[in-house]
Amino acid sequence: MSGTAPQATGPRWRPGDERPDIASMVRVDQAGEYGATRIYCGQLAVLGAQHKSAGTIARMQSQEERHLRTFDEMMVERGVRPTLLQPLWRVAGHALGAATALMSPGAAMACTAAVETEIDRHYGGQVAALGAGQPDLVATITRFQAEELEHRDTAIASGAEETFGYPLLSGAIRAGCRLAIALSKRI
C-alpha cells in the first residue's frame, strides 16, 4: 500500500452544502421533452406530411418521444412527480409549433434552433451540477444533449437563421424556454 488515499472524482459535499435536486432535474427534463414533442406535433399539423421539412421534423419528433419515454420511466423508478404545469405545456407546445409553422417553414426551424440552444445550455448545467455522483443520469443527459444539438444544427442548416426577424423570434422563444424550465422545476 502506498499510503495515499484515492482521489474522489465527483463534487465533495459537506454537511449543509447544497446538493443537486435530482427530482427537480428529472421533472423538468421530462417536461421539456414533453413540450418538444408537442412543438413538433404542432409543426407537423400545420405543414402536413407532404411538406419537404416533414420527414426531418418527424425524425426529430421521434427522438424527442424516445427521450420522453426515458424520463417517464425514470420518474416512476425514482418516485418523481410530474410538473403540475403539464396541461399548460401540452397546449403551449402545440401552439408554439403551429404558430411558427404558420409563419413559415423557416420560422418552424427557427423555433427548433432556439429551443435546442436553450436545452443544450440547460443540460450542460445539469451535467456540471451532477458531477460524478449520478453516472447513469449524466450518461442519459449527455446522450440526449448530443441529439438536441443535432436538432439545432439541422434547423440551422435548414435556414433557421435566414428567417425574417430571426433574432427577435429566437430571443422570445429562448426566454420562454428559460421561464418554462424555471417553473417546471418548482411547480
CATH number of the domain where residue 79 is located:
1.20.1260
Question: Does residue 95 form part of some domain?
Answer: yes
State how many domains the chain has.
Answer: 1
Question: Does residue 37 form part of some domain?
Answer: yes
DSSP string, 94-114: HHHHHHHHHH-HHHHHHHHHH
pLDDT in tens, the chain (187 residues): 445 544 445 455 444 445 558 888 899 899 999 999 999 999 999 988 777 787 888 898 899 999 999 999 998 998 899 999 999 999 999 999 999 999 988 999 999 999 999 999 999 988 988 877 788 889 999 999 999 999 999 999 988 999 999 999 999 999 999 999 988 888 8
Question: Does residue 180 form part of some domain?
Answer: yes
Question: Does residue 173 form part of some domain?
Answer: yes
Domain that holds residue 139: 22-186
